[in-house]
Structure 1
């Protein structure tokens, strides 16, 4: 399966593990990040300007930081414990320099991918994304290019599970369940059905 056509945009790294199961280790801006739909919509509207500024980063988890500019959480080598930094500011700035360069590269790469009509931007959250929020997210993506939004939801409807259905401005895929947030690698095998069905769709007409 050509999982490289799928760009994980949130809300966590579940799709990242699905891609890994297919041998796809291509890096992505939000592949291993935490991203609420509100943060993503705001960032898209501003082309991620000001993302990952040192002064906006706070300790979120032992190996994660939260960026207050938009609310994303990223993995980091700037380690903390009980939300207190383990290293001095000088040491953190040295680590930060290389991380900021990587983030800037991934932002540029991500925005370029939005101009590719064969790319699917995949968003899920365990509470399910409401239609109105999905519409707003689709509009924010469309400002940058023709990449399609695939919102994945869980359902008990056997007629929907494993399938993709078109909505007004996005595609909706359906699973039987999502992985628990603490165990994102324990994903449903039906991800394969959803992604395969999406790949079988014709490319959008320019």
Structure 2
């Protein structure tokens, strides 16, 4: 059984130093996928900028007063708690019908009152780095007003996050003013699917911003920094679909969670090559059923190496968990993989693409073999 890697533990510690200023739930999921669950009033809340500024200016005086909170059910079937005074929509984490609404509302009054006091304390002592995403169309003046409202409470540092686009590469966060840091991620999660986080850029940004603010060294985030939890054959492999109709074909091995630390996040990663004629719906990775972060294959990218990965916690009550690759396609679909790796950590770490012939060598007879025999890593 392995312990939590130094790199994963350091990233988790640094994630604890940040608090979300809302927008939506994306940064809350960033922290969850990184292995931490800090409490925060706005961590899993939809918070429009104008309402956030208005609330900060008055210390959220009317937040949670009698009659302020309302329950509603989201399109996804989850109870949200709405503050009428500040238009803040907090995800309660309870599916509709799982609890009596009156009981839940009473709990939310108590829970959110505690989190409001905690937020105001954090603002006063300035010990947390406050995160706010800024869209391409948002006026610069809005963020300037936000900084003024925050700094009226205390000396907090703000992290202003923008999108870099698909050509994002790791880059250090920048200090653009006293108590103001700027950084970029590749993309934001969709507004209504905040859990679809592009985690690797966020991990780079959080680590870099923390190092800049605290005056410490950034954490190396190459693949070698995340120790292997299980040695897998990394050789070139060809995977062929097994079904006439569109269906799941799995190329996994079943691992026993008892051999791993179940409170640690583990990540499976592999490089994949999608041929030009691939007609399947999806190529993806699996690291147990309790998935946290992930990156599926981009099916618009053909005839090149790209990395897929998935991270998660292995369930202690499971007898076996799947680790490996999967494809939604037919038996006419195929792809190649190389460099399979199973390690401790929320992300796989940076590494170069395989130095293999392009396109990969075709294996005679493997189409038939792939359809007849189970393929495991």
Q: Which TM-score applies when normalising by structure 1? A: 0.82
Does 1:191 find its partner at 2:202?
yes
SS in 2 for 1:167: strand
CA positional deviation for 1:80:
6.5
> 1 or 2 for the larger relative contact order (CA 8 Å, sep ≥6)?
1
Bigger strand share: 2
Are 1:140 and 2:156 counterparts?
A: no
- Change beyond 3 A, Cα 1:124–1:60: farther
Indicate the residue corresponding to 2:181 in structure 1: 171
TM-score normalised to structure 2 length: 0.47
Is the contact made by 1:129 and 1:153 (CA closer than 8 Å) also made in structure 2?
Answer: no
How far, CA to CA, are the matches of 1:125 and 1:60 in structure 2?
Answer: 27
Alpha-carbon shift at residue 111 of structure 1 (Å)? 1.1
Give the conservation status (yes or no) of the 8 Å contact 1:28–1:106: yes
Higher helix share: 1
Q: Secondary structure at the match of 1:109?
A: helix
Q: Displacement, 1:7?
A: 0.1
> Is residue 26 from structure 1 mapped to residue 35 from structure 2 by the alignment?
no
Task: Confirm or deny: 8 A CA contact 1:9 1:123 kept in the other structure.
Answer: yes
Shift in Å at residue 107 of structure 1?
A: 0.7
CA drift of 1:76 comes to 3.6
| Counterpart mapping for 1:99-110 below 5 A | 99-110=108-119
Structure 2 spans left out of the alignment, 5+ residues: 1-10, 216-377
Match of 1:67 in 2: 83
Cα distance change, pair 128–24 in 1 and its aligned pair in 2 (3 A) = farther
Is the contact made by 2:176 and 2:182 (CA closer than 8 Å) also made in structure 1?
A: yes
Q: Is the 8 A contact 1:117 1:203 kept in 2?
A: no
CA drift at 1:50: 1.4
- How large is the Cα RMSD of the aligned pairs? 2.9
Larger Rg: 2
Change (3 A) 1:52 1:162: farther
